[in-house]
Structure 1
Amino acid sequence: MILPGSDSQALGSALAAETGRELAAVTYDRFPDGEGMASVDLDGTAPDRAVVVASTPSDTAYVELLQLQDAVREAGADHVTTVIPYMGYGRQERAFEPGQPVSARAVARAVATGTDRVILVNPHEASVTDFFDVPCSVVDAAPRLADPLPADLTDPLFLSPDAGAVSLAESVRDAYGGGDVDYFEKVRHSGTEVDITPSDADVTGRDVVVVDDIIATGSTMSESIGVLADRNAADVFVTCVHPLLVRNARTKLERAGVTAVYGTDTLEREVTTTSVAPVVADALGSAAAE
């Protein structure tokens, strides 16, 4: 049985279709005092195995996830797998200043109390898997980003935001079936002045696909698009696993001259054009076989 959080309803449906599992009737209510309650109508039948699928872009989403875990346990589920397509607080994997919490560790420990297994999709920091007190695995959804790209890209170049993320660009390039891979180099001249340039490749007249795991404010990405435009790139496509796109991020990208923005359904946005359901379904199948 698949139990979707309110931020993962489309993905929950796609995952149910992909796996052939039942999609649970989940409701999301709110009391007059502001407290929420996520509950499931099991129609008198308790599942042996349950899968909670819930992205956590907000504090509310985390509470909802914990409630769904507890609800299905209360109903008698013997085994619960929790899929977190987008893990909020995942970038706070260490204390950056004295006195600060390791927020990723705090939320991971809370999630682990109500589940037998956790599956994450491209966490920003792979080290967060160590914070869960239950088995935790990671699936790579980057190859899915090749699906919405035009089939006739001109001499395509796949760019990652830095050298450490080249593997993401390589995954998309390999899934697309051809092209070169490069990364942006950032040279800081002062606290506010940063040069962003492609490392080696000539972009003149080429279609460029910029690949990242997450786009939040869009500031760095829009600067990168501007650099590519200045260097006479042809079309510039932006792809990301997690299209968070907070505040005016979408406007920044459009003003910079992006041709199109593509994201997955780890976060359900207007730019969501492909689903991670197939790779999550494979991970669920592997988990069941263990």
Structure 2
Amino acid sequence: MLVPGASSQALAAALASELGESLAAVEYDTFPDGETLAAVPGFDADTATIVASTASNDAYIELLQLQDAVREAGAREVTTVIPYMGYARQDKAFEVGHPISARAVARAVSTTTDRVVLVNPHEDAIADFFDVPVEIVDAAGRLAEPLPELHDPLFLSPDSGAIDIANTVRDAYGDGETDYFEKVRKSGTEVEITPSETDFDGRDVVITDDIIATGSTMSEAVAVLTEGGANRVFCATVHPLLARNARTKLCRAGIERVVGTDTIEREVSAVSVAPAVADVLER
């Protein structure tokens, strides 16, 4: 039985359809003192697959409650699908006395599940923080589907570390070149982008990344491309977090369109990762 977190209801429904499984009735509530409650009244299955992105602290508490709730209801086997894992970028201590937050939340999740499935974590090494088996889904290829017909396409990643995503989207699209920008981060919200050596004048460009958070990196890249003569510029991201004024930044920079998946359910979520996740769950 599929058990949806509050922020992953559409994805859980799509995944239930892919797998031919039923969808649990879940109740979400918040008490006057701010404490949350996630419950599964009527749950009566031997196995549970919880689908819950953790883009907030409350979402993590909700996930832990759902895992505990299905165990309490008699589930013998629990699989936890985390489409978007919050804190994944805090995978090391920034200085002495700081936590490795990704490890802390991974250990907490591990206490009441048997298996974890992650979709494009920021670093694959995140899997090592869990105390249960972890499988990683690469859903980047799904981003090619909503793209329009492109003229002489160029798929760019904001830095060398994300070039694999650019290659995956390009391969799924079936045409084009790939390259990356040189990026220097000046602060948590300020980056400096240096154009690649690839000629993008008159071409359609797709900037790909695993996540768009504040939009600072993407908007700077878009501005460089539009000012340099690119024809149309698109952003394709697995995790469209789009925090704060990210959408405004991208629009002001001259973006044609942002496309994302439903790992984080936003209005730009043009394609579902459900088929890719279902492939892993059915192995």
* 8 Å contact kept, 2:191–2:217: no
Over 3 Å counting, the alpha-carbon distance change for 1:130 and 1:232 in structure 2 is: same
Q: 1:236 to 1:25 in 2, by over 3 A?
A: same
1:155 paired residue number: 152
Equivalent residue letter for 2:20: G
Q: Does 1:219 align with 2:216?
A: yes
- Match of residue 37 from structure 1: 37
Aligned-partner Cα distance in 2 for 1:105–1:116:
17
Q: Given that residues 29 and 37 in structure 1 are in contact (C-alpha distance below 8 angstroms), is that contact kept between their aligned partners in structure 2?
A: yes
Q: 3-state SS of the aligned residue for 1:282?
A: helix
- State the match for 1:5 in structure 2: 5
Instruction: Please report how far the alpha carbon of residue 77 of structure 1 lies from its aligned counterpart in structure 2 after TM superposition.
Output: 0.6
Residue 127 of structure 1: how far off its partner (Å): 1.1
Question: Equivalent residue for 2:61?
Answer: 63
**1:137-176 → structure 2 map (5 Å cutoff):** 137-150=135-148, 152-176=149-173
1:23 matched residue in structure 2 = 23
Amino acid of the residue matched to residue 249 of structure 2? Answer: K
**1:224-263 equivalence runs, <5 A:** 224-263=221-260
How far did residue 164 of structure 1 move? 1.7
Q: 1:34 to 1:158 in 2, by over 3 A?
A: same
Runs of 4+ that moved beyond 3 A: 190-195
In the TM superposition, 1:75-224 aligns within 5 A as 75-150=73-148, 152-186=149-183, 195-224=192-221
Alpha-carbon distance in structure 2 between the residues aligned to 1:75 and 1:182: 50
User: Residue in 1 aligned with 2:275?
Assistant: 278
Distance 1:283 1:268 in 2: 21
Gaps of 5+ in 2: none
Distance 2:23 2:229 in 1: 48
Change (3 A) 1:81 1:187: closer
Shift of 1:267: 0.3
Q: Secondary structure at the match of 1:52?
A: strand
Q: Distance in 2 between matches of 1:136 and 1:14?
A: 22
Q: Deviations over 1:226-251 (max 9, x none)?
A: 00011100000001000010100000
Whole-Å separation in 2 of the counterparts to 1:16 and 1:195? 43
TM-score by length of 2: 0.97
Residue 116 of structure 2 contacts residue 133 of structure 2 at CA under 8 Å; is this kept in 1? Answer: yes
Distance (Å, rounded) in 2 between the aligned partners of 1:124 and 1:25: 31
Shift of 1:165: 1.2
1:59-110 CA-to-partner distances (Å, cap 9, x unmatched) read 1000000010011101111100000000001011110111000100100000
Q: CA deviation at 1:133?
A: 0.3
Normalising by structure 1, report the TM-score: 0.94
* C-alpha separation in 2, matches of 1:193 and 1:215: 14
Structure 2 distance, partners of 1:164, 1:268, is: 25
Quick one: percent identity of the two aligned structures?
A: 67
Matched residue type, 2:96: P
Amino acid paired to 2:18: E
Deviation at 1:199, TM superposition (A): 2.2
| 1:194 Cα deviation from its structure 2 partner | 6.1
Asked if structure 2 preserves the Cα contact closer than 8 Å seen for 1:243 and 1:271, the reply is yes
Quick one: distance in 1 between partners of 2:86 and 2:190? 29
**Distance in 2 (alpha carbons) for counterparts of 1:193 and 1:71:** 42
Please say if residues 122 and 241 of structure 1, whose CA atoms lie closer than 8 Å, have aligned partners that are also in contact.
yes
* Deviations 1:110-153, CA, capped at 9 Å, x for gaps: 00001000000000121110010000111001000001000x21
